Amino acid sequence: MADHASVSSLREPLVTKPRTLAGITDDILGQMQRRPTARWWIAFSLAAALLLLGVGTVTYEILTGIGTWGLNRTVGWAFDITNFVFWVGIGHAGTLISAILFLFRQKWRTSINRSAEAMTLFAVMCAGVFPLIHMGRPWVGFFVFPYPNDRGPLWVNFRSPLLWDVFAISTYFTVSAVFWFVGLVPDLATVRDRLPPGLKRRIFAVLAMGWTGSARIWNRYETLYMLLAGLATPLVLSVHTIVSMDFATSVIPGWHTTIFPPYFVAGAVFSGFAMVLTLMIVARAVMGLDHLITQRHLENMAKIIIVTGGIVGLAYGTEFFIAWFSGSAYERFTFINRATGPFAWAYWIMVSCNVISPQLLWFKKLRTSTVALFVLSLVINVGMWFERFVIIVTSLHRDFLPSSWGTYAPTKIEVFTLLGSFGLFFTLFLLFVRALPVISIGEVKSVLGYARPKLAAPPAEPASSVLEVA
């Protein structure tokens, strides 16, 4: 109450234009009720086209064989697992924003967490595709589940990091989805009550689970939201930790690295925030929400990118130091080979995108320039994709026995599959902005009065006479 009553001169409003509660509702729901703009249609058809391309290539690959990819006896993973780790990484910002920032009472999160969570779900869907299609026999992919079967029963290998992935990714997706939906319920009710009678209203009525806004339920709701946030926070850290163990627990020089868990988590947050930036900048431009998604939001995310980018840079350095310090000839060779070998180009793309480019954000001028942020966010995502590519391919292509050293080059099929995953991601996201409130109405309303003088004293005159209800 106190913070609400008094106005701190240090704080800036989270919602820049003065708005009434109803105004907020209009701003956000307007997006859904208005007809889609031409720009939306263009974006959507592009995304859908990419998605179709992806579906086509994956079908071809599954019908013909993994041989349609550029892999060989030395390099058994390349684009497939690179894309997987990349998308999982993207999927980290959402939950991080909604959970961790929530726990830290970062109220500025309120206008971005909804779409960030949606982004998480879609990114994890994209990620989930790859472990499945990278299998030689995807049609028996269900072998990875420990179900009672007639083969013994033969269970699964709980020592395998790939199996940990199965559990980590599915848990992460489920919990994120629950978290997202719970956050949506009050807004779904708002939509329900706004809509004219009809099919759409009936659908939202079902989804809203009969939400009435009762204070008793709000009270319980707050607890649940807190719990989910508290659970999602260690979860989000665990997921990329486990993904990093795919490599860290192996014997291959360049993979067998104990700093991978923190290194990967930082990288994930790094790329995740870059992707949120990309989407937010587009969203506020296209949907005119810049009074809700303000310059300040962008700047805060930029700051987080500086920090995580720094951690990533530190990790790169540490790897090299340990490679030298370990005294292992294989380890040393692998890292020298990364920086100077056949894939040096990839390595230096990674370094310049992930370590050098974020340093530009130290300048407030760039940090506050939407264009600069947009470009940098793209650059960083390119860099993070290459980070995974470098880790996977350069470590594999020259390992212990020089006799089996080889090289790797992707085929069209692999490139199309990557494009297809972007198609899937953007198709889902564009549908989301049409179908659901992209900003958490309830939460924004709760911070509307934030850092604003309290309303004037209540009117003294008595209320209008009581209407009798039969």
Partner 1 sequence: MPFLQASFDDEALLLRATHAVRRAGVEIADAYTPYAVHGLEEAMGLRRSRLTWVCFAAGLTGAACAMLFQVWSSAASWPLNVGGKPFASVPAFIPVTFELTVLSAALASAFFFFFRSRLYPGRPAAPPPQVTDDRFVLVVADSEAARRLLSTAGAVSLTRAEGAL
Partner 2 sequence: MKTTTTSPPRWWRTLEERTDPQGVAARHADEFADELPLGELGTATSRRSFFKVMGLSATAAMAACQRAPRQKILPFTTKPDEVTPGLALWYATACGGCAAGCGLLVKTRDGRPIKIEGNPLHPVSGGAVCAVGQASVLGLYDADRARGPRVDGRPASWAQVDGAVAAGLSAAARDGRTIRVLAPWGLGPTEEKALDGFLAAQPTARVVRFDPMGQRDAIADAHEALTGARLVPEVRLDAAEVVVGVEADFLGTFLGPAALTRQWSVGRDPARTPMLRHIQIESTLSLTGASADTRIPLAPALQVAALARLLRGLDTASIDDLVAPVLGAVAAAPLPNELGARLDGVARELRAAGSAGVVLCGSDDPTAQLLAALANAALDNATTTAVLDRRMAARAGEMNPDALAAELAAGQVGALLILGANPALVDRRLAAALPAVPFSLSTSERLDETAALARVHAPQGHFLETWTDHRPRAGVEVMGQPCVAPLFDTRAQTASLLVWSGAPADDHAFLQARWRREVLPDAGDASWDAAVRNGVTGKTAAVDSPSLLRSPAAALALVARGRDVTPIGPGELQLVLHASVSLHDGTGATANNGWLRELPDPISKVSWSNVAALSPRQAAALGLNDGDVVEVRTAGGAVELPVLAQPGLPDQVVAIAVGHGRTRAGRIAAGHGADGWALAGGAGAPVRRAGLRATLRATGRRRELALTQTHASQEGRALVRQADLGELRRDPHAGNEVPRPATLPGGAPRRTLGLWPGHAYEGHRWGLAVDLNKCTGCAACVVSCSAENNIPIVGELEVQRRREMHWLRIDRYYGGEPDAPEVLHQPMMCQHCENAPCETVCPVLATVHSTEGLNQQVYNRCVGTRYCANNCPTKVRRFNWFDYDHGGDLGRMVLNPDVVVRSRGVMEKCSMCVQRIEEARALSRREGRDLADGDIATACQQSCPAQAITFGDANDPKSALQARRAEGRAYTILEEINVKPQVTYMTRIKNRGETEHG
Question: Per-residue b/e over 290-300, b at no fewer than 16 CB within 10 Å?
Answer: bbbbbbebbeb
Q: How far is the CB of 237 from partner 1 (least distance, A)?
A: 10
Q: Which does 20 bind (CB under 5 to 8 A by kind): partner 1, partner 2, none?
A: partner 1
Which amino acid does the sequence have at 383? Answer: G
Number of residues in the chain: 470
Q: Which does 143 bind (CB under 5 to 8 A by kind): partner 1, partner 2, none?
A: partner 2
Smaller CB separation from partner 1, 64 or 212: 212
DSSP string, 87-147: HHHHHHHHHIIIIIHHHTT-GGGGGTHHHHHHHHHHHHHHHHHHHHHTSS-GGGGGGGS--
Quick one: which of 7, 55, 66, 431 contacts partner 2 (CB under 8 A)?
A: 66
Q: How far is the CB of 142 from partner 2 (least distance, A)?
A: 9
Residue 465: which region, alpha, beta or left (left: phi > 0; alpha: psi -120 to 50)?
Answer: beta
CA distances from 75 to 130, 175, 332, 337 (A): 17, 34, 20, 15
Residues numbered 136-175 forming contacts with partner 2, rule: CB under 8 A: 136-138, 140-141, 143-144, 151, 154-157, 159-163, 166
Q: Which does 346 bind (CB under 5 to 8 A by kind): partner 2, partner 1, none?
A: none
Quick one: which of 18, 206, 400, 435 contacts partner 2 (CB under 8 A)?
A: 400
Smaller CB separation from partner 2, 160 or 295: 160
Residues numbered 354-373 forming contacts with partner 2, rule: CB under 8 A: none
Q: How far is the CB of 345 from partner 2 (least distance, A)?
A: 19
161-194 vs 113-133: helix crossing angle, rounded to 10:
140
Q: What is the C-alpha to C-alpha distance for residues 73 and 52, in angstroms, rounded to an integer?
A: 30
Q: Which does 141 bind (CB under 5 to 8 A by kind): partner 2, partner 1, none?
A: partner 2
Tokens of 214: 């009762």
Smaller CB separation from partner 2, 137 or 216: 137
- The verdict on 336 binding partner 2 (CB under 8 A) reads no
Q: How far is the CB of 360 from partner 2 (least distance, A)?
A: 36
Sign of the Cα pseudo-torsion (295, 301, 304, 310, in order): negative
x/- mask, partner 2, residues 413-452, rule CB under 8 A, reads: ----------------------------------------
Residue span binding partner 2 (CB under 8 A) among the ranges 70-78, 179-187, 276-284, 302-310: 70-78
CA distances from 373 to 285, 370, 385, 402 (A): 13, 5, 18, 44
Question: Per-residue b/e over 173-193, b at no fewer than 16 CB within 10 Å?
Answer: bebbeebbeebbbbbbbbbbe
Residue for token pair 């007639």: 150
x/- mask, partner 2, residues 232-261, rule CB under 8 A, reads: --------------x--xxxx---------
Tell me whether the omega of the peptide bond preceding residue 138 falls within 30 degrees of 0, making it cis.
Answer: no
Smaller CB separation from partner 2, 63 or 463: 63
Smaller CB separation from partner 1, 236 or 269: 236
Residue 67 DSSP symbol? G
Q: Which does 67 bind (CB under 5 to 8 A by kind): partner 1, partner 2, none?
A: partner 2
Q: What is the C-alpha to C-alpha distance for residues 160 and 246, in angstroms, rounded to an integer?
A: 8
Q: Which does 262 bind (CB under 5 to 8 A by kind): partner 1, partner 2, none?
A: none
Residue 343 DSSP symbol? T
- The verdict on 338 binding partner 2 (CB under 8 A) reads no
Q: How far is the CB of 411 from partner 2 (least distance, A)?
A: 10
Q: Which does 406 bind (CB under 5 to 8 A by kind): partner 1, partner 2, none?
A: partner 2
Residue for token pair 């930036």: 277
Smaller CB separation from partner 1, 101 or 228: 228
CA distances from 182 to 106, 185, 223, 276, 425 (A): 19, 5, 12, 21, 22
Q: How far is the CB of 332 from partner 1 (least distance, A)?
A: 26
Q: How far is the CB of 345 from partner 1 (least distance, A)?
A: 35
User: For 30, phi and psi rounded to 5 degrees?
Assistant: -50, -40
User: For 398, phi and psi rounded to 5 degrees?
Assistant: -140, 90
Q: What is the C-alpha to C-alpha distance for residues 349 and 45, in angstroms, rounded to an integer?
A: 31
> Interface residues with partner 2 (CB under 8 A)?
64-67, 70-74, 76-77, 131, 134-138, 140-141, 143-144, 151, 154-157, 159-163, 166, 246, 249-252, 328-330, 333, 396, 398-407
